[in-house]
Structure 1
Amino acid sequence: MKLTRGVHHIGLTVPDLDAAKTFFCDTLGFDQVGGVPDYPSVFVSDGAILLTLWRAADPITARAFDRRANIGLHHLSLAVADDAALDAVWETVHAHPQVTVDVAPEPMRPGSATRHFLVFIPGGIRLEFATPFA
């Protein structure tokens, strides 16, 4: 018997709360569904996942996460419906001036029908977009 039932929400610490909110809401179409101004934080959702975006206490001195050297979130992967959706997201996301491409669209593994791409979004978090496993 499983003791859990999927992801409730994912919290991401960001250096610039407005830039992160703008990326998720304006670029990806998420809705702002709450927040805590005193923390400060913003909650955003695409209807299937809830992200809590928390501003680092001191963004100037905060260190960027190094996925090869630190324990923690290696990347966040968001699902898309199919290849056409992946291509549409790619066109929007990689054109964003504060996005750095890590891996352009490609099969997840050699011979796989599952495709993905990875980028670093404003603030440096590594984000993946992927089609369903095939």
Structure 2
Amino acid sequence: MTTALTTGVHHVGLALPDIDAARDFFRDALGYEVVGGVPDYPAHFVSDGSTLITLWQVSDPETATPFDRKKNIGLHHLAIGVADEAALATVFDRVGAWPGVAIEFGPCPIREGSAVRHFICYIPGGARVEFATPFG
């Protein structure tokens, strides 16, 4: 067995049609901190203390093509961990009530017989995000 040459995900960048709405979602619905930005790009950087997410503004939201997870190569979804099933329920309630969020499916086992539970939604701007309890 070899030792991995990497230390984990440094950050994830999402290209979105309205980064202000996405920033507000991460900050106000999930409690992330806004930790920076690049006004000229434009971009916002948000973090929960362990995960950094960059929110990049697409140049023309009206003509931007939404990602199709079954047809496009690229980020299928971003999976964000939660502490436990109670936290998952809290996140689901908060996210499900957030403007511009579409729930793909509610909390359920990640696969038959698994203790891991998750749900998937589309955040404001259309990026697909999963929230999941720990493995094990």
Q: Aligned equivalents of 1:33 and 1:50: distance in 2?
A: 9
Whole-Å separation in 1 of the counterparts to 2:19 and 2:135: 32
TM-score in terms of structure 2 length: 0.97
Shift of 1:17: 1.1
| Residue 122 (structure 2) pairs with residue 120 (structure 1) | yes
Unaligned runs of 5+ in 1: none
Partners in 2 of 1:63 and 1:116 — Cα distance?
A: 27
- Which residue number corresponds to residue 14 of structure 1? 16
Structure 1: how far apart are the matches of 2:90 and 2:28?
Answer: 15
Q: Letter of the 2:23 partner, please give it.
A: K
1:60 to 59, 62, 65: 62
Match of 1:116, SS state, is strand
Matched with 1:51 is: 53
Match of 2:22, SS?
A: helix
CA distance in 1, matches of 2:99, 2:20: 15
Unaligned runs of 5+ in 2: none
Match of 2:4 in 1: 2
CA deviations over 1:20-69 (Å, ceiling 9, x no partner): 10110011110000000000000000001000100001111110000000
Instruction: Determine helix, strand or coil for the equivalent of 1:103.
Output: strand
Q: Secondary structure at the match of 2:25?
A: helix
Matched residue type, 2:92: W
- SS of 2:73's equivalent? coil
User: Residues 60-106 of structure 1: CA distance to partner in whole angstroms, max 9, x if unpaired?
Assistant: 11100000000000000000000110011011001112111101100
The runs of 4+ residues in structure 1 deviating greater than 3 Å are none
Distance in 2 (CA, whole Å) between partners of 1:2 and 1:125 is: 29
Instruction: State the TM-score, normalizing by the size of structure 1.
Output: 0.98
Structure 1 residues 39-118: aligned runs within 5 Å: 39-118=41-120
